[in-house]
Amino acid sequence: MNTAMTPLEGRQARPDDDRGTTASATESTSPDERRSGPMRAASFTVAGVMLAVGIAMLALGLTTHVTLIPRLAETAVGLVVAGGALALLRSAWKGELDSPAVAPAAGLTLLGSLVYLGTAMPPFNHGLVGRPTATLQFVSVMVALVAGTAAFALNPKDPPPEGGGRRPWAQVLMAPDGLVLVVGTILLGMGLGEVDKIAPLMPPKWNWTSFLGLTIPGMLLLFILRGAVKQLSPSERVLGWQATGLWIVLGWEMLLVLGLSVMLYGAINNLTLGANGFQTEFKGSSGGLVLWAGAAAILIFIRGPVERGLIRLPDRRWYPVGRELLYGVAAILFIVGERAVITGKAPALVVGGAFPAALLIVLAALFLLVPIRLAVKRDELGLPEPTGAPA
């Protein structure tokens, strides 16, 4: 007598097997695996945007009637951005979101975009390129900055080494958190610089001396100072700041504000005035000075101690969001105040024809500085998902 059960009888004999297997499989799925689907979709989206921008930069570089060197530079940057998009597409298609090619490609996209802006704007400022073409180039750069920064954020980060080890300094200085901070702040300055423009969207000016001699050193100072902190584990950071005392923390935050001031001073002279920042005189503005000093005080005396763990706040999920949003608000006041002191124009909300575009740029910058930076910080510190948060 054949006593073997059919597959159907077997399933009926063990009604809980499938449910148990499914439940155990769901429980054993790691947070990284549960997030792989949305991250792949986001990677495809960012890569598509980067590819479109790279093709646009390439086409504009080939068709713009300027001298050979700017055309070659713009064409090369277009190829770099398109190549970075292809690298991100390849990693997303194969499910290799930790591909080592993504971070260098995103970094070259960010650096290349600024070089592209530096080669594209001088011909426009000298009347060699029409405003529509220059506007397309300016928009391409801003989109590339957002997409390149998002690509950095999508690329998974390694948590701090176990056993008290230290990351290599090259990895620390290129940490996505610092890049998001710098790019988001620069983009915020670009958007605020467009608010009072009469034209719908006016391409900026450019001065290589201010960019290389002031903006870049300010960026490097921020990277080095933040990198020194990132060499410590989260517990070492809090205990170390508590042991050194409040005055050391405030001095450290002052150095960070100094780096921010130098970076923005170079950016304002470069993009707004098109002048050599080493030869620019402060025209002065009392209202601007109040805003500048007030924003610096917020960063030094409030956000800094909270960031370093000296001011303990209750564990609430929205506090990290508020902390990063506080930086965004302080950065807006900081930029407006510093620009007023440099140009001598009193800080006032003068809405021009470029206000809708300027608002869009500011929102894109805040998107980088708040949600993207929060995601990057969580990955860099190796922190788990917030309790109760969807995976």
Complete DSSP assignment for 41-94: HHHHHHHHHHHHHHHHHHHHHHHS-S-HHHHHHHHHHHHHHHHHHHHHHHHHHT
Q: What is the pLDDT of residues 325-357, one digit of tens each?
A: 889 999 999 999 999 999 988 887 777 778 888
Q: Does 77 fall in a domain?
A: yes
Give yes or no: residues 81 and 175 share one domain.
no
Q: Which amino acid is at 104?
A: P
The whole-number pLDDT of residue 271 equals: 92
Query: Residue 138 pLDDT > 70, yes or no?
Result: yes
- Structural domain boundaries enclosing 57: 38-156
Please, what sign has the CA dihedral across residues 87, 89, 94, 99?
positive
Give yes or no: residues 148 and 174 share one domain.
no
Mean pLDDT of 214-222: 90
Give yes or no: residues 191 and 292 share one domain.
yes
Q: Which carries the bigger pLDDT value, residue 314 or residue 178?
A: 178
Mean pLDDT of 299-318: 68
Contact yes or no for 261/195 (Cβ under 8 A)? no
CA distance 129 to 203: 11
Domain count, the chain: 2
Q: Does 339 fall in a domain?
A: yes
Q: Tell me which of 104, 129, 156 is where a domain ends.
A: 156
Q: Which carries the bigger pLDDT value, residue 158 or residue 51?
A: 51
Give yes or no: residues 295 and 178 share one domain.
yes
The whole-number pLDDT of residue 12 equals: 43
CA distance 140 to 117: 9
Of 66, 77, 51, 200, the residue nearest 129 (C-alpha)? 66
Give yes or no: residues 92 and 200 share one domain.
no
Give yes or no: residues 144 and 174 share one domain.
no
Kindly list the distances between the CA atom of residue 157 and the CA atoms of 94, 152, 315, in Å, as whole numbers in the listed order.
Answer: 18, 9, 24
Give yes or no: residues 175 and 49 share one domain.
no
Q: What is the pLDDT of residues 26-45, one digit of tens each?
A: 343 344 444 466 777 877 88
The whole-number pLDDT of residue 41 equals: 80
Residue % of the chain over a pLDDT of 90? 24
The whole-number pLDDT of residue 31 equals: 43
Query: Residue 281 pLDDT > 90, yes or no?
Result: no
What pTM did the predictor assign? Answer: 0.79
Mean pLDDT of the chain: 76
Q: What is the pLDDT of residues 148-177, one digit of tens each?
A: 888 877 765 545 555 555 555 555 555 677
Q: Does 188 fall in a domain?
A: yes
Q: How far is CA 202 from the centre of its chain?
A: 23
Give yes or no: residues 231 and 150 share one domain.
no
Q: Which of 62-76, 136-150, 161-175, 229-243 has the highest mean pLDDT?
A: 136-150
Q: Does 163 fall in a domain?
A: no
Tokens of 360: 């869009």
Give yes or no: residues 59 and 139 share one domain.
yes
Q: Which amino acid is at 371?
A: P
Give the side-chain half-sphere CA count within 13 A for 155.
29
Tokens of 86: 């292809």
Q: Does 18 fall in a domain?
A: no
Which parts of the chain fold into alpha helices (H)?
Answer: 7-13, 17-28, 31-63, 68-93, 102-125, 131-154, 169-173, 176-194, 208-210, 216-230, 234-244, 246-267, 286-297, 304-308, 318-343, 355-367, 373-381
CA distance 102 to 237: 29
Q: Which amino acid is at 44?
A: F
**What is the band of 1 on the pLDDT scale with cuts at 50, 70, 90?**
very low
The whole-number pLDDT of residue 336 equals: 93
Q: Does 8 fall in a domain?
A: no
Query: Residue 22 pLDDT > 70, yes or no?
Result: no
Q: Does 203 fall in a domain?
A: yes
Contact yes or no for 208/362 (Cβ under 8 A)? no
Tokens of 174: 């290129």
Give the side-chain half-sphere CA count within 13 A for 211.
16
**What is the band of 10 on the pLDDT scale with cuts at 50, 70, 90?**
very low
Give yes or no: residues 177 and 147 share one domain.
no
Of 142, 150, 32, the residue nearest 96 (C-alpha)? 32
User: How is residue 368 annotated by DSSP?
Assistant: I
Q: What is the pLDDT of residues 79-113, one digit of tens each?
A: 888 888 888 888 778 766 666 667 777 778 888 88
The whole-number pLDDT of residue 72 equals: 84
Give yes or no: residues 225 and 129 share one domain.
no
Give yes or no: residues 47 and 75 share one domain.
yes
The whole-number pLDDT of residue 330 equals: 93
CA distance 352 to 375: 34
Q: Tell me which of 110, 134, 156 is where a domain ends.
A: 156
CATH of the domain at 45: 1.20.1270
The whole-number pLDDT of residue 143 equals: 93
Q: Does 91 fall in a domain?
A: yes
Of 155, 144, 145, 153, the residue nearest 177 (C-alpha)? 153
- What is the DSSP secondary-structure string of 291-311? HHHHHHHIIIIIIHHHHHTSS
